[in-house]
Structure formats: structure tokens, C-alpha cells
Structure 1
Amino acid sequence: MSQILVALLLLSFACNPKTEVQMEIQTEEHSPSDSLLLTPEEMKYLKNIKQLTFGGNNAEAYWSFDDSMLIFQSDYSEWGAECDQVYYTNWQEDDLKNNQPKRLSTGLGRTTCSYFLPDDKSIVYASTHLGGDNCPPVPERRTDGKYVWPIYDSFDIFTADMDGKILSQLTNEPGYDAEATVSPKGDKIVFTSLRTGDLELYTMNIDGTDVKQITSDLGYDGGAFFSPDGSKIIWRASRPTTDEDVEVYKDLLSEGLVMPTSMELFVANADGSDAKKITDLGKAN
């Protein structure tokens, strides 16, 4: 066992972005021959790695404001999940290989994009459970080979306490409402909504009031995060420009789908002003 001082430089994609967090962690050092299959090149940059989950699809893991917990979604059947549900873990102490973490979502429908609220005693997440108890269907593989994401119109955004009790429903508009993240200032939530017929970014107060649309260009806008001081946001967006691309985007959207294979990164002020494209991710293979 070794004691390693780790400086976690959290980028703007982190759920609780901070310029630097330092903590001491007791764990075993890994080598390229262990189960994580790290290459020598990777070992130059990655140390003190701890695997947290060991089955199912686990993703969207974000820090609590005090960095002691992680919240994430999983469809691990051994935990009784038929599709994505929200769980949380004390990442330094819990053993998820042998023990099930506490579920915070209802266990009904499908969830996505959970995030701690500033008190670390409650969370915000999106769920389809009001649209039905069962998991919404996953799109079948397309004959045209296009890779698509489903945009379930039954997604709404909720808050819950750490016992999983729903405290409030923050959105109640027709269509997709999801991908909510919280400003480090603790005052605002940014999320994606289809309420105008296009996938745009919105902000609202922590209690769901004062909803404001902050993007308006045609195309998917989502995956938004606030900067460490809460003054700016970064997000991914598709911007179809040719007639063909616009037609494809609109046709897929009418089917409740979006194609995430041509995305760009944008930054803007937290109110959506002064938006700038900062990179072009190009087309995925």
C-alpha cells in the first residue's frame, strides 16, 4: 500500500468543476499487467487508479460538492436494474464489487444525467417514470447504419433526497427535458429541452423557476456544464448547415432520435451570450 498525493485537475466537463482538488488516497498502485490493462504509455499519466464498478453499463459519474461521493447511472442487472437507474457511492470506502450501492431513483422507467445539488443532501436527475413503469424501448439497429441516440419525450427533471424520495418535479413541458447540471455557485441549473421543437439549452433556478432559453440555432444542444466560477458554460452541439443535413436532422428528430456523430464544442456566457465555437470534433467513425 502506498500513500499518494493526487492533484485532480477537473476540466469544465466535470460535474463539480473546481480549479484544483487535492486529497490523499490509500490504495494499491497498479501496473500494466493488472486487470485494468494499462499500457506503459498510459502509466506515464495515470496513477493511483481505483476501479469502482464491475458489471453492467455504468456512466455519467459526477462528484458531490464536497468530493466525498459520486452519483452515477447503471443498468447492472445484479442490482435489480432493467435499464439505467441512479445510484450513489462513497468512492473511497464502498466496495461495489461485492455490495450494491444505494439507489436514489424510483426503479421505474429510465433515468439519465444525475447531479448533486449544493447541499450534497439532494440530487437532480431526469427520469421517464411518469411515462410508464417499464423501460422505454431502445431503437433498433438502423438499416442505413446511422448511430443514433433516443430522445425520449417522457423525460422530465426531478429532485430527490438521499433516501430516493422525490422532492419536486422541475419540468412539466411536453417533450424531452434532461441533461441537467448545476452551477458551482449553487444558483442555476442548465438543461436540454425539446419544448420549442428543437433541442435547445435552458437555465433555471435551483427550484425550477425563472426558466430561460439560452440557445436558438437549429441543431442539438446538450451536455452543458458551468465553468468553476459559474459565469460561463461549455456544451456540445450539432449545427446542420446543408439542406441534406438539415433534412436528416429534422427527420431523425421527428422519430425521437438524434445522431451524435458530428458535434462541435461551444462556450458562452451563462446567459448564452457571446457564444463561440472552440473546436470541431468532426465525424465519428
Structure 2
Amino acid sequence: MKLRGIYLVIFALIIVSCKTAKKDKTDAESGATKIVNVKHYPKEIHLKNVTQLTFGGDNAEAYWSFDGTKITFQSNTKEWGLACDQIFMMNADEVLSDGKRPQLISTGKGRTTCSYFLPGDTSIVYSSTHLSGEACPPAPKKEDHGGKYIWPVYSSFDIFVADLKGNITKQLTNEPGYDAEPTVSPKGDKIVFTSTRSGDLELFTMNIDGSDVKQITHELGYDGGAFFSPDGTKLIFRSSRPKTPEAIKEYKDLLAQGLVMPTEMELYTCNVDGTDLKKITDLGSANWAPFFYPNGKKVIFSSNHHKAKHDGFNLFMINLDGTGLEQITFDGVFDAFPMFSPDGKKLIFSSNRNNNGTHDTNLFVADWVE
């Protein structure tokens, strides 16, 4: 799920300013307007020809096909008749104007997340709760947890393979508990995913057919949102690492209820077998949604560490040794889920920009400028 929906906590913090700010109201740290009727900000020097692909609802986690011509993404857009996230596919250069709905390639039942093309681009892997019921599983309420931002880890999530018409062709996981967040190696040989099968939220790998499952991480904390390096030899992921007795107790108590509080996370890398584990950020707050730069020597990710009130996310880039931090996007609200196209020429991401002050999260694609 890669923290799908973490931007909701931002809305709770800035909804008043979104409704009342004027176009010349600027964010003190990013320089961006609060009313985000802008597609491209002057400081975004690495982005060119920014194009908005979706208009309305919550659209996120857009991932390219191996040939770079298509994307899959998840959406809960009510105008498309959705009560919670389902998986869609469209051409990478398609603009969904006038309420056009793209092709649904999940079942339309339960809640889904984290779709990714498999080699050959004729099928996808994704996570779904539909085996436990057709309805959307209930979302936790902040008021039940002292107003803290809480994210559900549904034990009914399993990982499936489907063709591009939405027909499920295989179930890859059937262990009790949460199995989700699958992504595929550029080599086409492995899938990495997050599971609670060990009693904690850890990373695992498996072959494309679901065989040879191996546990990759072993430390207490939520390991997730993993992606392979361009050469398929390394993983980048985000993790919480509770250390104090109080933090450990809170983490374990929430996990026992199928919940996590994903507000303190840093980025880690390791080899695909789990060796050479390294922490590459120490920024504080929430650092997540990482993806490797095409040369494999940097990662792009989303963070709110630079915000005094942690009330907004922008994209940043950093070297694998933790040096060279650079801010990439500059809107005042939310940017996340960045992914480079297979040829490295384009970047797709989700953003609250250009939404007329609503809560809409849309997909944007841009040419990447070195």
C-alpha cells in the first residue's frame, strides 16, 4: 500500500487554509501557493512539460509497463462508481478529461492496492481483499486512537495475478495475515512484497510464479514500499524502527489490531537477499515512496521533513550514501509516488496541485531534465 492515503492527515491540518487562502498566499518553506491551481512551479527545474492525466478523486501509485507505453494505478474516484480503491489501466500519454473512466482491471470487489506490470505487459500483479467480502473493509477512525493518524493493515489482503481484462489467473499468496505491496524486478525474475506472516511487517521476495519465498528483513518495525534497483540487485524501502519501550509497545499494540502509525519512517537499502542493509536517510518525520533513479546511484522519494508542521509532502532526491539531498517539487500540499519510466526520460507522480483547493489527488507526468 506504500502509505496510500497518508495525505489525508495533511488535509486535516490544512483544510482551513485551503478554503480561505488567496492565490498570493505562499507557503513559507516551499514558496508554493496554497491554492494549488498550478501544474508546474518555477523551482521544479528537473521537470518539463508537466501534464495532468486525471481530474478528480484520489488517483495514486501509477506504475509504468515494461515497454513504457501504459500505466496501472489505483483510484477511489466516486464519479467512477467506486467506494474504495480499485485498479485501472490506461495509455501513459492518455488524458482522462470529461469524466472518462479508464479500463478497470481489478475485480471491482473489496479494496485493492499496489498494481505492477509483469514481464511481457500482458498481466499485472496486485493486492486485494475481495476474497473476504465484496464490500470495502472498514477504515479506522482517528478519534478511536487519540486523534493520531492510523493506517489499516488488512489481514484479508492477498496478492493476485490478473490479465489486462481483469480476470484473475493466479493467487500468489495464501498465508494468514497481510500480504501486499508487490513490485517486480526489472530483470523480470522476482517480486518483493510486505507480509505479516512472521509476526511483524517484513519484506519478502518470491519468484514471479510465487515460489521460493524468502524473508529479507528481520528487525522490528514496518518495512514496506520496496522497489528493485534498475539492475535488480538491490532494494530500496521505507521503514519504521521503534526503539524506546514506549514506541515498541505502541507499535506492537497497534499491529495486534491490524494497524500502524506511519508518521516516523526513514529509507533503507539492501541487497535482494537482505545483506548489506543500510539506512540512507536520517531526516525525521515521514520519508517514503522511494524509487531508484535510472542510474541506480540515487533515489527519489516523498518527505515532509522540511515542513515545520509536517503538513505537506514534496519529492526529494538523495544519493545512496545519504549525501546530496535535493528538493525536486515545490507545491504547498502533497507530492508522492514518483516513478521513472523504463527509459528514464519521464517521471510520473501523484499530487494535489491544480485541484482548485479540493482534496483531489491526481496523476501527473513530466519530462525529466537532468
> In the aligned structure 1, how far is the partner of 2:63 from the partner of 2:97?
16
Equivalent residues in 2 for 1:120-159, closer than 5 Å: 120-142=121-143, 143-159=145-161
Q: Give the aligned partner of residue 49 of structure 1.
A: 50
User: What residue number does 2:112 align with?
Assistant: 111
The 1:64–1:248 alpha-carbon spacing in structure 2 relative to 1, beyond 3 Å, is: same
Deviation of 1:35 after TM superposition, in Å, equals: 4.2
Name the structure 2 match of 1:75.
76
Which residue number in structure 2 is paired with residue 8 of structure 1?
none
> C-alpha displacement at 1:96, in angstroms?
4.5
Q: Secondary structure at the match of 1:41?
A: coil
- Match for residue 179 of structure 2? 177
Name the stretch that deviates more: 252-261 or 174-183.
252-261
TM-score by length of 2: 0.66
The amino acid of 2:87's aligned partner reads: V
- For the 8 Å contact 1:224–1:233, the answer to whether it is kept is yes
The DSSP-based 3-state class of the residue aligned with 1:283 is coil
Q: Distance in 2 between matches of 1:189 and 1:116?
A: 11
Distance 1:274 1:117 in 2: 27
Q: Which moved more, 1:134-143 or 1:115-124?
A: 134-143
Please report the RMSD computed on the Cα atoms of aligned residues, expressed in angstroms. Answer: 1.7
Give me the whole-angstrom Cα distance separating, in 2, the residues matched to 1:275 and 1:191: 17
Bigger relative contact order (CA 8 A; separation at least 6): 2
Unmatched 5+ stretches in structure 2: 1-32, 287-309, 311-370
Measure the CA separation in 2 of the matches of 1:96 and 1:89. 13
Cα distance in 1, alignment partners of residues 204 and 59 from structure 2: 27
Contact 1:123–1:161 (CA under 8 A) maintained in structure 2: yes
| Residue 303 (structure 2) pairs with residue 278 (structure 1) | no
Instruction: Tell whether the 8 Å contact from 1:262 to 1:281 is kept in structure 2 after alignment.
Output: no
Once the two structures are TM-superposed, the CA of residue 94 in structure 1 deviates from its matched residue by 4.8
SS of aligned partner of 2:52: coil
AA paired with 1:117?
L
- Deviation sequence 1:17-50 (CA, Å, 0-9, x none): xxxxxxxxxxxxxxx99943543333x4432011
CA distance in 1 between counterparts of 2:283 and 2:88 reads 31
Q: Percent identity?
A: 64
2:247 is the alignment partner of 1:245: yes
Alpha-carbon distance between aligned partners in 1 of 2:98 and 2:183, rounded to the nearest angstrom: 28
Matched residue, 1:12: none
1:165-214 deviations in Å (ceiling 9; x for gaps): 00100000000000000000000000000011100000000000010111
Aligned length: 253
Q: Would you say the 8 A contact 2:116–2:182 is kept in 1?
A: yes
Counterpart in 2 of 1:62?
Answer: 63
Q: Distance in 2 between the 1:41 and 1:204 partners?
A: 41
Deviations 1:104-144 (A, max 9, x none): 00000000000000110000000000011000011112352
Look up the SS of the partner of 1:279 in the other structure.
coil
Q: Which residue of 1 aligns with 2:101?
A: 100
Amino acid across the alignment from 1:77? K
Partner of 1:206: 208
Alignment of 1:6-25 (within 5 A): none
Give me the whole-angstrom Cα distance separating, in 1, the residues matched to 2:155 and 2:106.
18
* Residues in 2 aligned to 1:257 and 1:148: alpha-carbon distance in whole angstroms: 6
TM-score, structure 1 as length reference? 0.85
Matched residues in 2 for 1:281 and 1:113: separation?
26
Residues in 1 aligned to 2:106 and 2:83: alpha-carbon distance in whole angstroms = 13
Residues 265, 281 of structure 1: 8 Å contact kept:
no
- The residue aligned with 2:289 is none
